Chain A
Amino acid sequence: MRAKVGRLRGVALSSEKELSSVTTTCSDLAAGDAPAESPVLQLLERREPNDAFRPDGAIDPARVRLFRGPHGVLRCTIEGVKSVLRAKVVRAFPLSHQARWITVLDAKNKEVCTIEDPAQLDPESQHVVEEELARQYRVSTITRIYAIRNEYRTLFWEVETDRGRRDFVVKWGADTILWLGPADVVLVDIDTNRFRIPDVNRLDPRSRKLLSVLL
């Protein structure tokens, strides 16, 4: 518990350094030296005494390994830094960047590391991450629409998905019908289940016609 206080000190101190580093960067800019990267990326001091993390807090994917322990429990090891016995992976941008920016959390939901591009992980880790994400994010993909009934801004859907047939209810709203692109939509039903139509134009004509209620 003494360590906790120590860590708190560490955080507070690093925030002081943050201030000084901002001033340096600003004066650098004034002197006309164009920085290679945005100064924001230089803000964070290295949090661990090693070279696994870049100054912006992102990790070198070559140092990360994710694998399964007994009973399929996810583990995460950062080479030369630490090993976490019960890890969890989450997406930082679950809607706009599904395949990038994966954060590994420990059992207490503290960040272990954030991986910008999981494709740079070793094949096993990559596979495990995909499996875990598929379990963590149960988003069904709608392949066909049988019916949409609109009753006073409540939509009753009957659809075929990649996980089988399903009916669900969506209340019309900006936080329940999420357009990710002109033809890419995610529906959040009243129980917070999620359904996605990645490309409206690839549905059959009947489904598209039914979907016109949304447009």
Chain B
Amino acid sequence: MPVADPLSPAAEAQWRALVQPDEEVLLTVASDVDAGGRYGERWLVVTNRRVVVLPDGETNDQGRKTNGHSSRAEAGPSVVVRPPPPDGALSLPIETLTEVKTEPHVGGGRLEAYQGIVPVPLVEYTSSLGPKFSEVARGLQQLIKGHPFSVSDDLPKLRCERCGRLLAEKNAPCGRCVRKSAILMRLLRYMQPVWPLALVLAVATGGRTIVQLAPPYFQKLMIDQILTPPLAGGPPKPHYGDYGRLVLYVLGTAGAGLATALLMILASWLAAVVGTRVTVAIRADLYRALERLSLSFHNKREQGALMSLVTRDTDQLNYFLIEGLPYLVTNSLLLFGILAILLSMNWWLTLLILIPAPLVVLGGSLLWRRMRLYWNRWSQSWALFSAHLSESLAGIRVSKAFHQEAAEIRRFDRRNLDLADITIREGRFWGGAFALLNFVTGTGAYIAWLAGGRAVIGGHMTLGEVVAFVGYLWLLYGPLQWFNNIYQWMSRAFAGAERIFEVIDLPQEPYQAHQAVWLDRISGEVEFRDVTFGYDKAKPVLKDVSIHVEPGEMIGLVGKSGAGKSTFVNLICRFYEADHGELFIDGHNIKDLSLECLREQVGVVLQEPFLFNGTIAENIRYARPDASEREVIAAARAANAHEFIVGKPDGYDTQVGERGNQLSVGEKQRISIARAILRDPRILILDEATASVDTETEKAIQEALARLVKGRTTFAIAHRLSTLRNADRLVVFDEGRIVEMGTHEQLLERRGVYWRLVEMQTEVNRLRSVAISS
């Protein structure tokens, strides 16, 4: 979605009065809050010379969409106290501006231009337009610096571009406009490998529909031909009282019933196979995409939402394909079949019995809606209940320590009762509503008997016809009750499918780039040239960073948290790509280097070592699954981990538990170092590798690290500066820039940022030792 909004006619008129000759408009953009703080429009015009905020007109277009929201501002007193809006337009020449930034508020924000240290408020906006104005601020910032003005058009979509409806989340597919046919086509493509089965499934479904139509027809034949005597003066009935024929018809009915059952078994088996195959294939594609998508994607998406994409959305789709789709197809076919038969039998009676049909459809959908409400409440209540349960069990030490068991029990009892209450109410409603709906459905039959019976008495219809009518009626009304529900079910499943396909279609990390350079053994030379990068482009975390690192050098990265150290190493791993500037490994631009080759030769030890569920040996081997036991032990020994590992009853076969929770932090850390050693990386990254362990363990880890860094280019981040005493060079970061560089001694002599950090730590350590000794 683009940042720019085309000027509204009113704003256009205002702007025409203000525009100067030879002035080039670079951007026109609307905020969604007016000068009085109400929802409305406020226009910002950026030209090559100045930034202009147009005065609020009273001519706000009704219902105009300003990227985010309809702005139907209505006249009325505002409770928000604000200075009165300026009479004229606010106009700020670019050359007077020093900075433009966004000031976040709760539920909104404000774009501010700085003239020196004086902030001039430009426009206010709601949180919905936050990303848009961050981008505007970034563009203006470039303009101030004399760079060409450009803004990204890659803003999140808030509304459906077709119907204008708000989306359930940013960039989500619109529930109403989901292109059901396109998604169906794509799902069909997934059916290709199993198409013979799918074909049989289709035939079985159609066949089932046809045989389901037979029994009422046999009933009609039995009654009219065999069971009712011919009327005086009526047509002759040659088969009246023919028992053999009756047996034949009953056998026909039974045969149809049996065939229905068999086809149902076949169809549901096939549907399970086809549906599951399709879902498995989609889930596999999705997981592949998730593993291959870049970290910037994973940072933006919530883990929970991705989990639910793989589990709930695919499950939902599977369930729909297995249960919903066959139901929909069968019943649609049945509906048309029955209507055709009924109309051919007696068109006016058909029309009569359809009178309650709208009521049934409506009742079904109302019932469904209400039911969903109960389910919602129930699941809400259940979520609270289970959240409380898991939380209170996890925090049982704290409850006991603060003697709050009784309060916890009271809270549990309340949730438990809430849940029971909702379950009872749901059950009561379900029973009552269902019975009522069944009764309404039955009214069709009463009409059929009333009107049909009268016709039979009058001799216009036969008894068999009426009986068949009533039989078909029940077949007709059953699906009618749930049609609405099925349709919604389909919308939900397809919206899920669209979410899945969207992720599958995203551009992935370039693992198999065509002209990528492959280096068997990189020497480890790293160079940053004027690199600027920010996770949010409006807020760069690294600014114009340049450094040249020789192969085998050990670099210590120092600075406050948030100074850019971790971001610096993230770029070396190419988890992200620089916004500006270039990064070279062994003289090759990192973008030309094969990603596989790069990641194979970079090893990382993180502050919070992450172990996967499995044995210690498996975790060490994660780096190189083909490593021999000898290599695993050698790596563990080098990591000072061998002794504690063999001290465990199961040695290297010890299960580490989920995320390694059976081990201490120091143990996990040493295993992760062993993992890195086994990898034999050319470039080693130690991100706070010893931050969360005691002094003795730190010593063991330090020894292990000293062995590990030998002969490799190493980047070590540490808050405890003593950890970095072996570094060849220290690089000091401050607010995204490299401010100092040199050896420990050189930097101490400079008495700059590094010196101050050292002073502070010495002071803290001194105080700590005083506190311990006293």
Contact = CB atoms under 8 A, between A and B. Distances in A.
A94 B106 CA distance: 10
Interface stretch (B73-81, B138-146, B352-360, B578-586): B73-81
Given A9-B763, A72-B83, A172-B380, A151 B118 contact: no
A110 interface: no
Given A8-B760, A164-B40, A172 B107 contact: no
A81 interface: no
B641 to A, nearest CB: 36
B70 to A, nearest CB: 7
A165 B72 contact: yes
B169 interface: yes
B376 A172 contact: yes
Contact of B69 (A1, A138, A167, A190): A167
B567 to A, nearest CB: 22
A82 B469 CA distance: 92
A171 to B, nearest CB: 7
A204 B78 CA distance: 21
Interface size class for chain A? Answer: 35 or more
A193 B372 contact: no
B128 interface: yes
Contacts of A97: none
B319 to A, nearest CB: 14
B289 interface: no
Interface stretch (B47-55, B119-127, B568-576, B628-636): B119-127
Interface in A3-35: 4-5, 8-9, 12, 16
A194 B38 CA distance: 14
Nearest to A154: B168
A171 B169 CA distance: 9
A139 interface: yes
A130 B373 CA distance: 40
A130 B81 CA distance: 8
Contacts of B70: 165-167
A140 B76 CA distance: 14
A137 B81 contact: no
A167 B166 contact: yes
Given A1-B756, A136-B105, A191-B130, A169 B39 contact: no
B37 A163 contact: yes
Given A164-B71, A164-B72, A164-B73, 19 more contacts: A8-B763, A70-B118, A131-B83, A135-B80, A136-B105, A137-B105, A138-B108, A156-B166, A162-B80, A163-B39, A163-B78, A164-B76, A165-B39, A167-B70, A174-B384, A189-B128, A191-B68, A194-B107, A213-B376
28 contacts: A4-B756, A8-B760, A8-B764, A73-B119, A94-B106, A131-B81, A135-B37, A135-B80, A135-B82, A135-B105, A135-B124, A138-B107, A139-B106, A140-B107, A150-B373, A162-B78, A165-B70, A166-B69, A167-B70, A167-B166, A169-B166, A169-B168, A190-B170, A191-B126, A191-B130, A191-B158, A192-B107, A213-B376
The 4 closest A-B pairs by CB, nearest first: A138-B107, A164-B39, A191-B128, A138-B108
